[in-house]
Structure 1
Amino acid sequence: MTTRRLETRIHPDDRIDPDKAGPQAMRHVTVNVAESPIAWLASRGMLTQGQLHAGERLRADYERAGLAARVTMRWDAAPPAKGRGGARASDASLARIDAHRRFHAAIDHVGPGLADICWRVVCAGEGIGGAEKALGWPARSGKLVLGLALDRLARFYGMG
């Protein structure tokens, strides 16, 4: 697993109201930003080890493929080769292409109904409650659907 990286943040439900005068009560919560939502579920016995490993493998493919939105410019581009053939693909870019193909094949294998919650929770790191709200699902349905999606992922990766 990953090492703990704790941060203190203002609870998302406690927003500052500009219409209120005087001090406002705000709760500060300590969160482990290095822990993924599926690792949190697995640590509480809500996911099997196969589901956890399949989800972590999907997240690794997602990050290795560089599919997350970029905030700054990429500075890691390889310089062009000096020979007549031009620039050749490095091993890193081939690994990135392979991860990209694996990620999309895994998402296609999971299916259109289950891929949404899988991407939101596993790759984007969104909590299950937030994913349920964003997808318009009833409360407490996300855990069950995520479990089904992770079972399909485990079969895709040959873990189940």
Structure 2
Amino acid sequence: MAATHIEQMIEDPEGQTQAVLVHVGESPLAWLHARGLLSERHYLAGDMLRRDWERAGLGARVTMRWDAAPRSANSGGGAGDPTLAQLSARERFHGAIAAAGPGLADILWRVACAGEGLVAAEKALGWPSRAGKLVLTLALDRVAGWYRVS
């Protein structure tokens, strides 16, 4: 049975490095929500965005596709054709990202979809520490409105 927790070294907001136990199956949004740093509304909106991103097939593929090859060029519904569910999810995802707006969509995608932690996302974007939570919350608020999460 695989371990669900691993020990990881992180840097706290004061710059001190410490060992923490990390649940490998927990998303950054779930982590923030479980600690009361995100509201239920924001968590649900972020999770809906992540599910649409996954359903749309927008993530990088790291394994081989085992879908059946199309029989001929004229037969519809080949392996390369996106399904209606994928197209709908892609449309919802792009609508939600547009609703978040420029400047907010970057951290939203990094944390909700790519699974980056807040500290890693802040560093990648060149932001000061603790700025990510505020911007992420603003983005999730807009996305929650777009998804009509109450």
**Normalising by structure 2, what TM-score?**
0.82
Find the aligned partners of 2:78 and 2:148 in 1 and give their Cα distance.
Answer: 29
Structure 2: 5+ residue runs without aligned partners? 12-17
- 1:157 aligned to 2:138? no
Higher CA-based Rg:
1
Segments of 4+ moved more than 4 angstroms: none
Give the letter for the 1:74 counterpart. Answer: R
Residue 124, structure 1, aligned to residue 122, structure 2: no
Q: How does 1:78-157 map to 2 (within 5 A)?
A: 79-80=70-71, 86-88=75-77, 93-157=83-147
Counterpart residue type for residue 116 of structure 1: D
Identity of aligned residues (%): 55
Q: Which amino acid is the alignment partner of residue 65 of structure 2? A: R
Shift in alpha-carbon separation, 1:147–1:7, aligned structure 2, 3 A: same
Q: What secondary structure, in the 3-state scheme, does the structure 2 residue paired with 1:112 have? A: coil
Separation in 1, partners of 2:68, 2:24: 29
Question: Cα offset for 1:157?
Answer: 0.2
How far 1:8 moved relative to its partner? 2.4
Q: Distance in 2 between matches of 1:97 and 1:78?
A: 20
Unaligned runs of 5+ in 1: 14-26
How far off is 1:71 after superposition? 1.6
Contact kept in structure 1, 2:53 and 2:93, CA below 8 Å: yes
Corresponding position: 1:43 with 2:34: yes
Change in 2 beyond 3 A, CA 1:132/1:28: closer
Asked if structure 2 preserves the Cα contact closer than 8 Å seen for 1:6 and 1:30, the reply is: no
Q: Distance in 2 between matches of 1:29 and 1:79?
A: 49
CA distance in 2, matches of 1:42, 1:63: 21
- Shift, 1:80, TM fit: 3.5
Deviation of residue 6 (structure 1)?
1.1
The number of aligned residues is 141
TM-superposed CA distance for 1:101, in Å, is: 1.1
